[in-house]
Structure 1
């Protein structure tokens, strides 16, 4: 019941409420990017969603497009703007993804969607991630995010897919909210252990 009906309905209602609540913040960030950074405020990229269907993800743009003498983009850490760094650390760069939720392309909680060019590199374990809607945050994100190696991320993603429930989603959501930047590393193995002992 929860997986099939309740979660998608709750996602839509909560996303709609949050869009209204954060509309002033959305407008302010949009204007700040335009004024301080001087480029389009939105980052749009094709990602892989449920059933391996592609969709366009929306985020606030946090990097400029500066290139080296050979015309190649500089490394990411050299292109993140001061405002972009604040947006990333606070998680506010993710706000536009609320519209992906309203379009039923994403959920608040689920495996993070990867760029479409990853699809040709995936094995069966990795393709299993596409059995559910991708999320703004997820088990892998609150367990370490970039500090985790890809096999561990996939293991956590697949654990979530097989075991997601209202209570697991609530734990992930609360940890995302209370963390200082939404992505602090935390030992989440107790959740898996609890599930195995049930």
Structure 2
């Protein structure tokens, strides 16, 4: 197990370094466009749970404005997500800064996507297994539905990955991810631009 983890970490670091080096000119252009169209800061930074739930700050390019209502509350996603932001999400260009998280060892290239910190107490014991491995930029759930599946289906696929992960499976997921990005398959979930908020499992809310 330790040897496999070391191999995966070495692979992550080398590939992330090469990708980041190649993507720097593109990231520079995206950074400038985000600053021009959405304002500062160009980077979105949010605390997410990592390996064993340990928090870290996930990096992405901003895709939404900071528009608020009369009471100072942020408007809903679909009102703040601009056509430019939609393009960044459709092409996954907003995800490029996460290569920095991979270099730092906070993310893997492949693993369950890191969600929100407030979801941690809402998981069942089975669903919490998704935190037994380092989270990833892409994962089994992303290439099997992405945002177009239910939370329960997404968690089932995350746990399946944890229990069946191999380097060969990681290569398959990376290949399928490129295919998904090209076709923009599963970017939205029905009327939501992203996944709706996870409010826990029905059995967790009873009583």
1:8 corresponds to which residue?
9
Aligned to 2:198: none
**Where does residue 201 of structure 2 map in the other structure?**
none
- Mapped to 1, the partners of 2:26 and 2:72 lie a distance apart of 35
Partner of 1:17: 18
Offset of residue 82 of structure 1: 2.2
Structure 1 distance, partners of 2:103, 2:18, is 11
Cα distance between partner residues in 1 of 2:163 and 2:144: 17
Aligned to 2:123: 122
What is the TM-score with the length of structure 2 in the denominator?
Answer: 0.85
1:63 aligns with 2:83: no
Which sections of structure 2, spanning at least 5 residues, go unmatched?
A: 187-207
Distance 2:105 2:151 in 1: 26
Q: Separation in 2 of the partners of 1:183 and 1:46?
A: 26
* TM-score, normalised with respect to structure 1: 0.89
Aligned counterparts, 1:82-97, within 5 A: 82-97=83-98
Structure 1 distance, partners of 2:185, 2:8, is 25
The alpha carbon displacement at 1:142 in A equals 1.1
> What SS does the aligned partner of 1:168 have?
helix
Greater helix share, structure number: 1
- Give the length in aligned residue pairs: 185
Q: Deviations over 1:39-81 (max 9, x none)?
A: 2111100001101101000000000110122222111011012
1:190 maps to what in 2? none
The answer to whether the 8 A contact 1:90-1:182 is kept is no
Q: Which runs of 5+ in 1 are unaligned?
A: 186-198
| Contact 2:38/2:64 (<8 A) preserved | no
